[in-house]
Amino acid sequence: MMVEITRNNFEEKYPEIEGRLRSAVFVAVDTEFTGLLSDPAFKPSLFDTGSERYGKLRRSTEHFLIMQVGITAFRFIEDKNKYKASKYTFYVFPRSFASIDNIFMCQSSSLEFLCQNHFDFNKFVYDGVPYLNQKEEAHLRKELSKGSLFHQLDRTVDLDDEKSIQLVCSRVAKWAASAVQGDTLDLNNLDICQGDIRLSYVMHKELRQRFPDIWSFPEGGLIRVKKISHMQRKALEENEEQHKTLEETVMHSLLGFSRLFKLLTELKKPIVGHNILLDLMIMYNQFHEQLPTRLNDFKEEIHRLFPVIYDTKFLSFQMRKILIKEDMWNSNILSHLYCFFKEGRGRYLVLYSPIIELEDGAEICNPKETASNVSEQSQDLNVKFHEAGWDSYCTGYCFIRMAHIFAHVTCGSLVFGRILTSREHLLGVSSKKNCVNVIRANISHMCLDGPDPPSDRPNWLHVQAKGFRTIDVSKVAELFARYGSVDVKPFTRFRALVAVGNHGSAKDIVRQFQKHKELRVSYYHPLWHSSVFQTFLGTGAVVSCGMCAYFLYRQFSNIQTPSARSVP
Amino acid sequence: MMVEITRNNFEEKYPEIEGRLRSAVFVAVDTEFTGLLSDPAFKPSLFDTGSERYGKLRRSTEHFLIMQVGITAFRFIEDKNKYKASKYTFYVFPRSFASIDNIFMCQSSSLEFLCQNHFDFNKFVYDGVPYLNQKEEAHLRKELSKGSLFHQLDRTVDLDDEKSIQLVCSRVAKWAASAVQGDTLDLNNLDICQGDIRLSYVMHKELRQRFPDIWSFPEGGLIRVKKISHMQRKALEENEEQHKTLEETVMHSLLGFSRLFKLLTELKKPIVGHNILLDLMIMYNQFHEQLPTRLNDFKEEIHRLFPVIYDTKFLSFQMRKILIKEDMWNSNILSHLYCFFKEGRGRYLVLYSPIIELEDGAEICNPKETASNVSEQSQDLNVKFHEAGWDSYCTGYCFIRMAHIFAHVTCGSLVFGRILTSREHLLGVSSKKNCVNVIRANISHMCLDGPDPPSDRPNWLHVQAKGFRTIDVSKVAELFARYGSVDVKPFTRFRALVAVGNHGSAKDIVRQFQKHKELRVSYYHPLWHSSVFQTFLGTGAVVSCGMCAYFLYRQFSNIQTPSARSVP
């Protein structure tokens, strides 16, 4: 059974979800969103530092929205060596209310991608749980305290809503005619207002205004109408004046998913995600506050909100380093990783790897027992990937498997041959906490609780077109691409800089292009290749100096090759 | 039966739709879109000139999208005095393809509004008909002629698509093993590629590349594979090289709804809409080209595309002028107008008003025959409003009823007491062609085929806070609002200008505020109220000159009141 949370069951499910989160060892998350700017200006490049990448991501996501959040809480049952997973898929939608009316962007290809994964856009718009970021919350609270909210909303009530209000009022009038003080009438809020917070608010206000001898109470899913005395009414009005109980109820509903986000930040449980940086940033922007301009400010605040974060993509790269080749998976894509740990060798690498079960066990059955054809089974699973709840579950699944292996590596004989505790699992990966993967950049990962690590990419390459011809950057990129991933940027009219993904590729390129007839390739040296120095060489007697420089240069680069590793 | 057009039936239905449009007397249109910027900067105001309003609308719509287009073609059957209506609701979605990847905006309140009208967002994203504007078309044709399209697309093929391609290839391999030259194998394109134009294109390319003794032909909904000789293959390859048949087929599919839009511009049939300006602008932007900056350029081009345009909202305001009060409708909202003409007095105002029937007659039955309770019937109808096809039908319906009445007014005894021709109907409204309604502006309507009409709004009011107090613009707006619609803008720190909706309200305000203790109100006079003149008054001896000016002013404004009508 898949638990989808919409505005129709959010309030009802909230206590259960809260309980599951409170008893969790860690919480895995995943999000699906409406798009990502793909301009060349925002494209990830091997030149990017942490700050640059953060800036690109911030600007390319700020107007897009998360439509679906997957949250899976994993609790540990020690005597059974078992993790129980409670998986929830939340649809969230920025409900308009009073002066709050969100405008957001969508990207065709992103929506089409979600179509391939059977995303339900109607559920997003019709049933998405509301939320407010802190700025919106503060703004609404201010409007609310001014008391002008009702007048504002009253003007936006349409014909259908007007009819609903009339209907309810005449029902109450009929009841009130024969009711005595203390009698109550319960109206089903969900039936009448169909989850429309605005309508529910106007309904309360209208009832209180029209009937001086009743009071309306928001009671969970009910509007409870009570016949009262003049004195009681006066007291209730004064109380309302002071405490704005009705307005608080409205705020509570409108905060919706933000309350859950806030709960997560209060619980301080470890948060686990796969390639989690983007999810973190976009959640921060949507449910907390606008992303700060500077990376360090973001790090500080995200660390305050979530002191312990794990990225399974980062962990998987770390694990590659300790596994022998036959025990390795093919790619770090979540679905491949999950299949490796679920069905492949990954599960049996180390003894006593815990059992992992979804709370409603029926969903995931043991492939060994039910299906003879493993690849068919994977195909079935494939269908569910990119459903946020499922992805968060798989992420948590891989996290446990990897933590179990890491625990054995770090603790060695201390843990060998016995069942581990969840504390030992977390201890096993604790040296990797707050390291999040960064794709195709100057750094391989970012540290959320401190400065970023030094780059371990090879030094940049410097490429010059021979004979003072204008350099063709895309041609260089094409020529070099066969040796591995590269990014090329123009340096001057005749020269370009190349960032190369790994040391092997860089070495290959330098070696292969040693005698190339059009290009001169070497490791980049900031001083030697500075434009002042080059201009000096260039403006003198071109040929002789050029030749002279060429030889000097060759020699220099030969010396430099084996040792130049640090990135300027 | 409601005819919804999606990418699954667009090609199949196209010939029928084209036929209906060709035989139409006029075509009614309506659109539903993803939002509208509501910043104060874009809010319609009574100060707005035509150019200013165009600018506001242009900037507030440019990033939003039409999701649904309603088109109803009305043809006339003279001997039966009957209009037959063919109503179509198109879902359109900007499919991504190669480097084309649209990013668009959505507004929460707009999507919520569409929810109230049961809009199907899944149909929009999953099944929307593709389209390209002229710039995108040119761009794709260029990419296509370079021949790099396949390589680009090949890289974006995902795992599922890869599987489909493998499956088809092994099916073809099996068939090819035993087939002889001239044999054909028909593959159902819709089954295999599920309307994915990109996949279909890659499939053709892949088949031709893998099998040197076959050729693939795009034949409607089929991929027809034919076994051929070496010579034939060579000829086909050369032909493809020259004519890019496959690429043309792809372009044809991608153009989708734009082809229909182009057809409409070629047919030059009168286009009818209700409050059509926004629909025209957003269609222009989405299916034709980016909206020009200047209003006059827009007018010129839209007039070239659609030489005859009618706005039923404009017509309804004109009609109010000739009807006696009891024959009038309550509001100019489309649904009210439709009910007035369908069920109310509107239908029987003039004899021989034509019968109007939907092509699939079952849908709209005569309320007199089937339902005893008229208001219930309207309630049912209400549910369908804001479905673009239905709205376009209602717009056309009202157009015919009004044209029939106008024909009697303009032609008088010439047409009295007999059935009219459709030409006479159009003749009846011809003096109102290309006039489109403009809400809450300095002008009541815009002329698409010439300069805008002079304003018939009252002269602006000039308001000054007495005793040199800072003027509170929103307080002024609140005070004046009870007399009718007003817009207030600050003029200087102490003064404000007010645009008033109608002459009666303006007169009332000036009269009522003659002795107001805080505000001095008069009709605005550009020279008298110019800041130079006022500065001169203000900077001299404040009290005496102020007093003197005050009396002068009072006198002046009294003289000016009855005659000042033209807007500066």
Across residues A80-99, what is the average pLDDT? 94
Contact B161, B193 (CB under 8 A): no
Interchain pair B107, A107: CB under 8 A: no
Q: Does residue B467 sit in helix, strand or coil?
A: helix
Give helix B334-342 / helix B374-384 axis angle, nearest 10°.
140
Interchain pair B382, A159: CB under 8 A: yes
Interchain pair B121, A125: CB under 8 A: yes
Q: What percent of chain B is modeled with pLDDT above 70?
A: 85
The residues that bridge with B309 in the sheet, in sequence order, are B271
Q: What is the pLDDT of residue B507?
A: 92
The residues that bridge with A437 in the sheet, in sequence order, are A445
| Tokens encoding A305 | 């909100």
The residues that bridge with B355 in the sheet, in sequence order, are B82
Q: Is A101 on the interface with B (CB under 8 A)?
A: yes
- Give rounded-to-5 percent helix, strand, coil for chain A: 50, 15, 30
* B260 vs A539: CA distance, rounded Å: 62
Per-residue HEC secondary structure of B406-426 comes to HHHHHHHHHCCCCCCCHHHHH
CA–CA distances in Å: residue B71 to residues B129, B314, B434 = 14, 20, 19
Tell me A291's DSSP state. P
Q: How confident is the model at residue A413 (pLDDT cuts 50, 70, 90)?
A: confident
In this predicted structure, the answer to whether residue B216 has a pLDDT above a threshold of 70 is yes
* B206 vs B187: CA distance, rounded Å: 14
**Which of A37, A94, A159 faces B108 most closely, judged by CB atoms?**
A94
Q: How confident is the model at residue B559 (pLDDT cuts 50, 70, 90)?
A: very low
Q: Is B492 on the interface with A (CB under 8 A)?
A: no
Contact A62, A85 (CB under 8 A): no
Per-residue HEC secondary structure of B350-363 comes to CCCCCEEEECCCCC
* B215 vs B243: CA distance, rounded Å: 15
**Which of A37, A108, A120 faces B96 most closely, judged by CB atoms?**
A108
- What is the per-residue pLDDT across A218-238, written as a single tens digit (0 to 9) for each? 887 788 999 999 989 999 888
Interchain pair B101, A38: CB under 8 A: yes
CA–CA distances in Å: residue A244 to residues A143, A145, B268, B301, B332 = 12, 8, 60, 56, 40
Q: What is the pLDDT of residue B135?
A: 95
Name the least confident of A10-24, A293-307, A405-419.
A405-419
Across residues A488-508, what is the average pLDDT? 89
Q: How confident is the model at residue A551 (pLDDT cuts 50, 70, 90)?
A: very low
In this predicted structure, the answer to whether residue B261 has a pLDDT above a threshold of 80 is yes
Cβ contacts of B36 on chain A, cutoff 8 Å: none
Cβ contacts of B330 on chain A, cutoff 8 Å: none
Cβ contacts of A167 on chain B, cutoff 8 Å: none
Q: What is the pLDDT of residue A535?
A: 54
**Which of B104, B112, B115 faces A106 most closely, judged by CB atoms?**
B104
**Which of A63, A102, A160 faces B108 most closely, judged by CB atoms?**
A102
In this predicted structure, the answer to whether residue A544 has a pLDDT above a threshold of 80 is no
- Which residue has better confidence, B567 or B436? B436
In this predicted structure, the answer to whether residue A532 has a pLDDT above a threshold of 80 is no
Q: Is A106 on the interface with B (CB under 8 A)?
A: yes
**Which of B35, B101, B108 faces A109 most closely, judged by CB atoms?**
B101
| Four-CA torsion B288, B289, B293, B294, nearest 10 degrees | -40
Q: Does residue B5 sit in helix, strand or coil?
A: strand
* A552 vs A537: CA distance, rounded Å: 12
**Which of B63, B103, B111 faces A125 most closely, judged by CB atoms?**
B111
- What is the per-residue pLDDT across B22-71, written as a single tens digit (0 to 9) for each? 999 999 999 999 998 777 788 888 999 999 999 999 998 889 999 999 99
Q: Is A556 on the interface with B (CB under 8 A)?
A: no
Across residues A417-440, what is the average pLDDT? 92
Delineate the domains of chain B, giving CATH numbers in brackets: 4-131+259-438 (3.30.420.10), 141-253 (no CATH), 461-560 (3.30.70)
- What is the per-residue pLDDT across B218-242, written as a single tens digit (0 to 9) for each? 887 788 999 999 989 999 888 887 7
Q: DSSP string of B120-185? A: -HHHHHHHPBPB--HHHHHHHHHHHHHT-HHHHHHTT--HHHHHHHHHHHHHHHHHHHH--TT-EE
Q: How many CB atoms lie within 10 A of CB A205?
A: 18
* B325 vs B321: CA distance, rounded Å: 10
Q: How confident is the model at residue B145 (pLDDT cuts 50, 70, 90)?
A: confident
Q: What is the pLDDT of residue A13?
A: 95
A with B: how many residue pairs have Cβ under 8 Å apart? 77
Q: Does residue B107 sit in helix, strand or coil?
A: strand
Tell me A459's DSSP state. P
* A496 vs A462: CA distance, rounded Å: 6
Q: Mean pLDDT across chain A, nearest whole number?
A: 83
Interchain pair B105, A104: CB under 8 A: yes
Residue of A nearest to B115 (CA): A126
Amino acid of residue A420: L
Interchain pair B95, A108: CB under 8 A: yes
Across residues B314-340, what is the average pLDDT? 82
* A494 vs B176: CA distance, rounded Å: 53
Query: Residue A381: which H helix or E strand, with range?
Result: helix A374-384
Q: How confident is the model at residue B154 (pLDDT cuts 50, 70, 90)?
A: low
B389, HSE (Cβ side, Cα atoms, 13 Å):
16
Name every residue whose Cβ is closer than 8 Å to that of residue B408 and which is 6 or more positions away in sequence: B350, B415, B416, B428
B312, HSE (Cβ side, Cα atoms, 13 Å):
31
Name every residue whose Cβ is closer than 8 Å to that of residue A538 and which is 6 or more positions away in sequence: none
Interchain pair B103, A107: CB under 8 A: yes
Q: B289 — alpha (psi -120 to 50), left (phi > 0) or beta?
A: beta
Per-residue HEC secondary structure of A500-522 comes to ECCHHHHHHHHHHCCCCCCEEEE
Q: How many CB atoms lie within 10 A of CB A403?
A: 28
- What is the per-residue pLDDT across B294-309, written as a single tens digit (0 to 9) for each? 999 999 999 999 999 9
* B250 vs B244: CA distance, rounded Å: 10
CA-based nearest residue to A392, from A14, A10, A20, A15 = A20
B500, HSE (Cβ side, Cα atoms, 13 Å):
30
Q: What is the pLDDT of residue A533?
A: 57
Cβ contacts of B114 on chain A, cutoff 8 Å: 125
Residue at token pair 């400065």: A451
| Tokens encoding A320 | 């590659």
Q: How confident is the model at residue A94 (pLDDT cuts 50, 70, 90)?
A: very high
* B169 vs A279: CA distance, rounded Å: 39
Q: What is the pLDDT of residue A559?
A: 34
Select the highest-mean-pLDDT range: A177-186, A284-293, B114-123: A284-293
* B387 vs B395: CA distance, rounded Å: 12
**Which of B35, B93, B382 faces A103 most closely, judged by CB atoms?**
B35
Q: Is A474 on the interface with B (CB under 8 A)?
A: no
What ipTM was estimated for this complex? 0.83
Q: Mean pLDDT across chain B, nearest whole number?
A: 83
Across residues B452-464, what is the average pLDDT? 91
Q: What is the pLDDT of residue A221?
A: 74
In this predicted structure, the answer to whether residue B536 has a pLDDT above a threshold of 70 is no
Interchain pair B120, A122: CB under 8 A: yes
Q: What is the pLDDT of residue B250?
A: 87
Select the highest-mean-pLDDT range: A437-451, B212-226, B549-563: A437-451
In this predicted structure, the answer to whether residue A183 has a pLDDT above a threshold of 60 is yes
Cβ contacts of B38 on chain A, cutoff 8 Å: 101
- What is the per-residue pLDDT across A254-310, written as a single tens digit (0 to 9) for each? 999 999 999 999 999 999 999 999 999 999 999 999 999 999 999 999 999 999 999
Interchain pair B121, A122: CB under 8 A: yes
Residue B463 φ then ψ, to 5°: -120, 130
- What is the per-residue pLDDT across A350-397, written as a single tens digit (0 to 9) for each? 778 899 999 865 444 333 333 334 343 444 454 578 899 999 999 999
* A75 vs B503: CA distance, rounded Å: 73
| Tokens encoding B212 | 């040197």
Strand B82-91, strand B355-358: pairing: parallel
Q: How far is A147 from chain B (nearest CA, A)?
A: 17
Q: What is the pLDDT of residue B257?
A: 98
Q: What is the pLDDT of residue A537?
A: 47
* A67 vs A279: CA distance, rounded Å: 12
Q: What is the pLDDT of residue A418?
A: 84
Select the highest-mean-pLDDT range: A447-456, A544-553, B342-351: A447-456
CA-based nearest residue to B429, from B352, B316, B351 = B316
* A278 vs B427: CA distance, rounded Å: 62
Distance of CA B164 to the CA centre of its chain: 40
Interchain pair A126, B109: CB under 8 A: no
Q: Helix H segments across B268-311?
A: 277-283, 295-305
* A225 vs A193: CA distance, rounded Å: 15
In this predicted structure, the answer to whether residue A540 has a pLDDT above a threshold of 60 is no
* B347 vs B337: CA distance, rounded Å: 11
Tell me B79's DSSP state. G
Q: How many CB atoms lie within 10 A of CB A177?
A: 7
Across residues B332-339, what is the average pLDDT? 85
Q: How far is A379 from chain B (nearest CA, A)?
A: 10
Interchain pair A106, B103: CB under 8 A: yes
